[in-house]
Structure 1
Amino acid sequence: MRILVATDFSPRSQRAMRRAGILAGQSGGDVILMHVVDSADTRQSARDIREAQRMTVEQVAVVPELCRVACRSLVVAGCLPDAVLDAATARQADLIVVGAGPGRTVRGLIRAAPCPVLVVIRSVAGPYARVMAPVDLLNASARALRSVASLGLADHACVTVVHAFEPVGKPKLAGFGVPRE
Protein backbone atom coordinates (compact mmCIF):
# COMPACT_ATOMS: atom_id res chain seq x y z
CA MET A 1 0.00 0.00 0.00
CA ARG A 2 1.29 3.46 -0.91
CA ILE A 3 0.31 6.08 1.67
CA LEU A 4 0.62 9.82 1.08
CA VAL A 5 0.78 11.85 4.29
CA ALA A 6 0.20 15.57 4.03
CA THR A 7 2.08 17.40 6.78
CA ASP A 8 2.47 20.95 7.99
CA PHE A 9 4.77 19.77 10.82
CA SER A 10 2.12 20.47 13.46
CA PRO A 11 1.14 18.06 16.26
CA ARG A 12 -1.95 17.03 14.27
CA SER A 13 0.30 16.17 11.32
CA GLN A 14 2.55 14.14 13.59
CA ARG A 15 -0.49 12.05 14.59
CA ALA A 16 -1.16 11.45 10.89
CA MET A 17 2.48 10.47 10.28
CA ARG A 18 2.39 7.98 13.15
CA ARG A 19 -0.87 6.42 11.90
CA ALA A 20 0.53 6.15 8.37
CA GLY A 21 3.68 4.47 9.69
CA ILE A 22 1.61 1.91 11.60
CA LEU A 23 -0.59 1.17 8.57
CA ALA A 24 2.41 0.89 6.24
CA GLY A 25 4.12 -1.45 8.71
CA GLN A 26 1.05 -3.68 8.88
CA SER A 27 0.68 -3.87 5.10
CA GLY A 28 4.34 -3.84 4.04
CA GLY A 29 3.62 -0.54 2.31
CA ASP A 30 5.54 2.68 1.91
CA VAL A 31 4.94 6.27 2.98
CA ILE A 32 5.34 9.49 1.04
CA LEU A 33 5.69 12.35 3.50
CA MET A 34 4.49 15.49 1.71
CA HIS A 35 4.65 19.16 2.55
CA VAL A 36 3.24 21.96 0.41
CA VAL A 37 4.99 25.34 0.49
CA ASP A 38 2.57 28.15 -0.19
CA SER A 39 4.62 31.13 -1.30
CA ALA A 40 4.21 33.62 -4.12
CA ASP A 41 7.79 34.92 -3.82
CA THR A 42 10.03 32.57 -5.83
CA ARG A 43 13.19 33.35 -3.85
CA GLN A 44 11.43 32.83 -0.51
CA SER A 45 9.70 29.74 -1.90
CA ALA A 46 13.07 28.14 -2.79
CA ARG A 47 14.30 28.74 0.79
CA ASP A 48 11.07 27.40 2.25
CA ILE A 49 11.30 24.28 0.09
CA ARG A 50 14.88 23.57 1.25
CA GLU A 51 13.86 24.04 4.89
CA ALA A 52 10.78 21.83 4.47
CA GLN A 53 12.90 19.12 2.83
CA ARG A 54 15.22 19.19 5.82
CA MET A 55 12.26 19.00 8.19
CA THR A 56 10.65 16.04 6.41
CA VAL A 57 13.89 14.06 6.62
CA GLU A 58 14.07 14.96 10.30
CA GLN A 59 10.49 13.81 10.85
CA VAL A 60 11.30 10.39 9.40
CA ALA A 61 14.18 10.13 11.86
CA VAL A 62 12.19 11.15 14.96
CA VAL A 63 8.81 9.48 14.38
CA PRO A 64 9.41 5.85 15.44
CA GLU A 65 6.60 4.45 13.29
CA LEU A 66 8.20 5.96 10.16
CA CYS A 67 11.66 4.54 10.94
CA ARG A 68 10.30 1.03 10.42
CA VAL A 69 8.92 1.53 6.89
CA ALA A 70 10.09 2.70 3.49
CA CYS A 71 9.58 6.45 3.58
CA ARG A 72 10.23 9.20 1.04
CA SER A 73 9.76 12.93 1.30
CA LEU A 74 8.09 15.18 -1.21
CA VAL A 75 8.11 18.96 -0.93
CA VAL A 76 6.41 21.08 -3.56
CA ALA A 77 5.38 24.68 -4.01
CA GLY A 78 1.69 24.95 -4.57
CA CYS A 79 -1.72 25.40 -3.13
CA LEU A 80 -3.68 23.14 -0.80
CA PRO A 81 -5.52 20.88 -1.45
CA ASP A 82 -4.69 20.82 -5.18
CA ALA A 83 -1.00 19.98 -4.71
CA VAL A 84 -1.87 17.01 -2.48
CA LEU A 85 -4.50 15.76 -4.95
CA ASP A 86 -2.03 16.06 -7.85
CA ALA A 87 0.66 14.19 -5.91
CA ALA A 88 -1.76 11.43 -4.91
CA THR A 89 -2.75 10.95 -8.54
CA ALA A 90 0.79 11.14 -9.94
CA ARG A 91 2.20 8.72 -7.36
CA GLN A 92 -0.81 6.39 -7.45
CA ALA A 93 -1.47 6.67 -3.72
CA ASP A 94 -3.78 4.06 -2.22
CA LEU A 95 -4.55 6.24 0.79
CA ILE A 96 -4.11 9.88 1.84
CA VAL A 97 -3.61 10.45 5.57
CA VAL A 98 -4.04 13.88 7.14
CA GLY A 99 -4.37 15.29 10.62
CA ALA A 100 -7.66 16.94 11.46
CA GLY A 101 -7.18 20.58 10.59
CA PRO A 102 -8.85 23.45 8.78
CA GLY A 103 -12.21 22.19 7.60
CA ARG A 104 -12.14 23.53 4.05
CA THR A 105 -8.81 21.90 3.22
CA VAL A 106 -9.80 18.49 4.55
CA ARG A 107 -13.26 18.66 2.95
CA GLY A 108 -11.65 19.59 -0.37
CA LEU A 109 -9.35 16.56 -0.15
CA ILE A 110 -12.17 14.19 0.72
CA ARG A 111 -14.41 15.42 -2.10
CA ALA A 112 -11.83 15.28 -4.88
CA ALA A 113 -9.30 12.63 -3.83
CA PRO A 114 -8.52 9.81 -6.26
CA CYS A 115 -8.32 7.43 -3.26
CA PRO A 116 -9.68 7.18 0.29
CA VAL A 117 -8.71 9.87 2.82
CA LEU A 118 -8.09 8.99 6.46
CA VAL A 119 -8.41 11.93 8.85
CA VAL A 120 -6.54 11.27 12.10
CA ILE A 121 -8.05 13.09 15.06
CA ARG A 122 -6.66 11.47 18.19
CA SER A 123 -3.22 10.48 19.42
CA VAL A 124 -1.95 7.25 17.98
CA ALA A 125 -1.05 4.42 20.37
CA GLY A 126 -0.90 1.43 18.02
CA PRO A 127 -2.85 -0.46 15.38
CA TYR A 128 -6.61 -0.09 15.36
CA ALA A 129 -8.17 -2.46 17.91
CA ARG A 130 -11.83 -1.42 17.62
CA VAL A 131 -13.53 0.23 14.67
CA MET A 132 -17.07 1.57 14.54
CA ALA A 133 -18.46 2.17 11.08
CA PRO A 134 -21.68 4.21 10.99
CA VAL A 135 -23.55 3.57 7.75
CA ASP A 136 -26.58 5.09 6.12
CA LEU A 137 -27.15 2.34 3.54
CA LEU A 138 -26.19 4.64 0.65
CA ASN A 139 -23.45 4.08 -1.94
CA ALA A 140 -20.94 6.28 -0.08
CA SER A 141 -21.13 4.02 2.99
CA ALA A 142 -20.72 0.91 0.85
CA ARG A 143 -17.65 2.42 -0.87
CA ALA A 144 -16.15 3.37 2.49
CA LEU A 145 -16.59 -0.16 3.86
CA ARG A 146 -15.10 -1.69 0.69
CA SER A 147 -12.11 0.67 0.97
CA VAL A 148 -11.49 -0.25 4.60
CA ALA A 149 -11.62 -3.93 3.66
CA SER A 150 -9.50 -3.72 0.49
CA LEU A 151 -6.80 -1.62 2.19
CA GLY A 152 -6.75 -3.85 5.25
CA LEU A 153 -7.20 -0.89 7.58
CA ALA A 154 -9.15 -2.92 10.13
CA ASP A 155 -7.87 -6.45 9.48
CA HIS A 156 -6.85 -7.03 13.08
CA ALA A 157 -9.62 -4.99 14.69
CA CYS A 158 -13.04 -5.74 16.07
CA VAL A 159 -15.38 -3.98 13.61
CA THR A 160 -18.90 -2.89 14.50
CA VAL A 161 -21.17 -1.63 11.73
CA VAL A 162 -23.98 0.59 13.00
CA HIS A 163 -27.10 1.79 11.23
CA ALA A 164 -29.56 3.93 13.17
CA PHE A 165 -33.01 4.70 11.86
CA GLU A 166 -36.30 6.16 12.94
CA PRO A 167 -39.07 3.52 12.91
CA VAL A 168 -41.76 4.39 10.39
CA GLY A 169 -44.69 3.78 12.74
CA LYS A 170 -43.12 5.16 15.92
CA PRO A 171 -45.82 7.78 16.61
CA LYS A 172 -48.54 5.14 16.27
CA LEU A 173 -46.74 2.77 18.66
CA ALA A 174 -46.97 5.34 21.46
CA GLY A 175 -50.73 5.43 20.92
CA PHE A 176 -50.90 1.71 21.67
CA GLY A 177 -49.03 2.07 24.96
CA VAL A 178 -45.61 0.88 23.73
CA PRO A 179 -42.89 2.58 25.82
CA ARG A 180 -40.66 5.05 23.94
CA GLU A 181 -37.50 3.00 24.68
Structure 2
Amino acid sequence: MAIVYETNRLVLHVFDLTYLEDTRLFWGDDEVMVHCNGASPDDLLPKIIEGYRKLHHKYGLSVYAVQQKDTNRIIGAAGFNIHDGLEKIELIYHFNKTSWGKGYATEAARACMELAKQNKSARCVYATADPLNKGSFTVLEKAGFTQKGTLWCEDTKKEEPYYEFMF
Protein backbone atom coordinates (compact mmCIF):
# COMPACT_ATOMS: atom_id res chain seq x y z
CA MET A 1 0.00 0.00 0.00
CA ALA A 2 2.32 2.72 -1.21
CA ILE A 3 0.84 6.11 -0.34
CA VAL A 4 1.41 8.79 -2.97
CA TYR A 5 -0.70 11.68 -1.65
CA GLU A 6 -2.99 12.63 1.24
CA THR A 7 -5.72 15.23 1.55
CA ASN A 8 -7.91 16.05 4.55
CA ARG A 9 -10.29 13.17 3.77
CA LEU A 10 -8.53 10.96 1.23
CA VAL A 11 -5.37 8.91 0.69
CA LEU A 12 -4.17 8.02 -2.80
CA HIS A 13 -2.38 4.65 -3.06
CA VAL A 14 -0.53 2.87 -5.82
CA PHE A 15 -2.90 0.16 -7.01
CA ASP A 16 -2.26 -3.48 -6.14
CA LEU A 17 -4.40 -6.61 -6.19
CA THR A 18 -5.53 -6.17 -2.57
CA TYR A 19 -7.92 -3.54 -3.97
CA LEU A 20 -9.54 -5.91 -6.47
CA GLU A 21 -12.81 -6.41 -4.59
CA ASP A 22 -13.28 -2.66 -4.07
CA THR A 23 -12.70 -1.91 -7.77
CA ARG A 24 -15.78 -3.96 -8.63
CA LEU A 25 -17.86 -1.27 -6.89
CA PHE A 26 -16.79 1.35 -9.41
CA TRP A 27 -15.07 -0.11 -12.50
CA GLY A 28 -17.31 -3.17 -12.39
CA ASP A 29 -20.56 -1.23 -11.92
CA ASP A 30 -22.60 -0.40 -15.03
CA GLU A 31 -24.25 2.62 -13.42
CA VAL A 32 -20.90 4.13 -12.35
CA MET A 33 -19.34 3.50 -15.75
CA VAL A 34 -22.36 4.45 -17.88
CA HIS A 35 -20.53 7.53 -19.24
CA CYS A 36 -17.33 5.53 -19.91
CA ASN A 37 -18.44 2.80 -22.27
CA GLY A 38 -19.73 0.48 -19.54
CA ALA A 39 -18.36 -1.61 -16.71
CA SER A 40 -15.15 -3.60 -17.01
CA PRO A 41 -15.55 -7.39 -16.83
CA ASP A 42 -14.28 -9.08 -13.65
CA ASP A 43 -11.50 -10.94 -15.48
CA LEU A 44 -10.10 -7.64 -16.80
CA LEU A 45 -9.86 -5.87 -13.43
CA PRO A 46 -6.58 -7.53 -12.30
CA LYS A 47 -4.98 -6.52 -15.62
CA ILE A 48 -6.17 -2.92 -15.18
CA ILE A 49 -4.76 -2.80 -11.64
CA GLU A 50 -1.44 -4.27 -12.74
CA GLY A 51 -1.24 -1.85 -15.67
CA TYR A 52 -1.71 1.16 -13.39
CA ARG A 53 0.84 -0.19 -10.91
CA LYS A 54 3.39 -0.51 -13.73
CA LEU A 55 2.64 3.00 -15.00
CA HIS A 56 3.39 4.45 -11.57
CA HIS A 57 6.73 2.65 -11.39
CA LYS A 58 7.66 3.74 -14.92
CA TYR A 59 6.51 7.38 -14.86
CA GLY A 60 5.89 8.32 -11.23
CA LEU A 61 2.27 9.04 -12.15
CA SER A 62 -0.71 6.77 -12.74
CA VAL A 63 -4.29 6.14 -11.73
CA TYR A 64 -4.49 5.54 -7.97
CA ALA A 65 -6.77 3.82 -5.50
CA VAL A 66 -8.62 6.47 -3.48
CA GLN A 67 -9.15 5.59 0.18
CA GLN A 68 -11.58 7.43 2.43
CA LYS A 69 -9.66 8.17 5.66
CA ASP A 70 -12.54 7.89 8.13
CA THR A 71 -13.63 4.43 6.90
CA ASN A 72 -10.34 3.12 5.42
CA ARG A 73 -12.39 1.94 2.42
CA ILE A 74 -11.26 2.24 -1.18
CA ILE A 75 -14.05 4.35 -2.69
CA GLY A 76 -12.71 5.04 -6.15
CA ALA A 77 -9.85 5.66 -8.51
CA ALA A 78 -8.30 8.90 -9.72
CA GLY A 79 -5.21 9.80 -11.65
CA PHE A 80 -3.72 9.73 -15.10
CA ASN A 81 -3.96 7.58 -18.17
CA ILE A 82 -0.56 7.87 -19.81
CA HIS A 83 -0.38 7.02 -23.50
CA ASP A 84 2.84 8.41 -25.01
CA GLY A 85 4.86 9.80 -22.11
CA LEU A 86 4.14 12.64 -19.71
CA GLU A 87 3.96 15.58 -22.10
CA LYS A 88 0.15 15.23 -22.38
CA ILE A 89 -1.74 13.02 -19.91
CA GLU A 90 -5.42 12.32 -19.29
CA LEU A 91 -7.07 12.86 -15.89
CA ILE A 92 -9.73 10.30 -14.98
CA TYR A 93 -11.75 9.58 -11.84
CA HIS A 94 -14.40 7.02 -10.93
CA PHE A 95 -16.10 6.60 -7.56
CA ASN A 96 -18.52 4.07 -6.13
CA LYS A 97 -22.14 5.22 -5.91
CA THR A 98 -22.14 5.66 -2.12
CA SER A 99 -19.41 8.31 -2.54
CA TRP A 100 -21.22 10.48 -5.06
CA GLY A 101 -22.16 14.06 -4.18
CA LYS A 102 -19.67 14.43 -1.32
CA GLY A 103 -16.89 16.30 -3.08
CA TYR A 104 -14.48 13.34 -3.21
CA ALA A 105 -13.98 13.55 -6.99
CA THR A 106 -13.04 17.23 -6.78
CA GLU A 107 -10.72 16.59 -3.83
CA ALA A 108 -9.06 13.68 -5.61
CA ALA A 109 -8.76 15.60 -8.92
CA ARG A 110 -7.03 18.48 -7.13
CA ALA A 111 -4.69 16.02 -5.41
CA CYS A 112 -3.85 14.47 -8.76
CA MET A 113 -3.07 17.87 -10.23
CA GLU A 114 -0.67 18.51 -7.35
CA LEU A 115 1.04 15.20 -8.11
CA ALA A 116 1.38 16.15 -11.77
CA LYS A 117 2.79 19.54 -10.79
CA GLN A 118 5.32 17.92 -8.43
CA ASN A 119 6.37 15.47 -11.14
CA LYS A 120 7.56 18.41 -13.29
CA SER A 121 7.42 16.38 -16.52
CA ALA A 122 3.74 16.86 -17.27
CA ARG A 123 3.04 19.86 -19.48
CA CYS A 124 -0.63 19.40 -20.29
CA VAL A 125 -3.35 17.46 -18.50
CA TYR A 126 -6.59 16.93 -20.39
CA ALA A 127 -9.94 15.38 -19.67
CA THR A 128 -13.14 14.68 -21.51
CA ALA A 129 -16.59 14.16 -20.05
CA ASP A 130 -19.78 12.71 -21.42
CA PRO A 131 -22.11 15.58 -22.37
CA LEU A 132 -24.73 14.14 -19.99
CA ASN A 133 -22.34 13.99 -17.02
CA LYS A 134 -22.69 17.57 -15.76
CA GLY A 135 -21.08 16.62 -12.42
CA SER A 136 -17.80 15.95 -14.20
CA PHE A 137 -17.84 19.43 -15.75
CA THR A 138 -18.07 20.89 -12.25
CA VAL A 139 -15.23 18.70 -10.95
CA LEU A 140 -12.94 19.72 -13.80
CA GLU A 141 -13.73 23.41 -13.44
CA LYS A 142 -13.14 23.30 -9.67
CA ALA A 143 -9.80 21.56 -10.32
CA GLY A 144 -8.70 24.46 -12.55
CA PHE A 145 -9.39 23.06 -16.02
CA THR A 146 -10.61 25.18 -18.93
CA GLN A 147 -13.00 23.85 -21.54
CA LYS A 148 -11.34 24.08 -24.96
CA GLY A 149 -14.09 22.70 -27.18
CA THR A 150 -15.09 19.16 -28.03
CA LEU A 151 -13.17 16.05 -28.99
CA TRP A 152 -14.21 12.83 -30.71
CA CYS A 153 -13.65 9.98 -28.23
CA GLU A 154 -13.06 6.67 -29.94
CA ASP A 155 -13.87 4.60 -26.82
CA THR A 156 -17.34 6.12 -26.36
CA LYS A 157 -17.90 6.87 -30.06
CA LYS A 158 -19.11 10.41 -29.45
CA GLU A 159 -18.09 14.06 -29.27
CA GLU A 160 -17.36 15.07 -25.68
CA PRO A 161 -16.48 18.36 -24.04
CA TYR A 162 -12.67 18.64 -23.90
CA TYR A 163 -10.83 20.32 -21.01
CA GLU A 164 -7.16 21.21 -20.48
CA PHE A 165 -4.88 22.30 -17.69
CA MET A 166 -1.48 23.66 -18.76
CA PHE A 167 1.56 23.91 -16.48
Same-fold status (TM-score > 0.5): no
Larger proportion of strand: 2
Higher relative contact order (CA 8 A, sep 6+): 1
Instruction: Give the TM-score, by structure 1 length.
Output: 0.30
Pair member with larger Rg: 1
Larger proportion of helix: 1
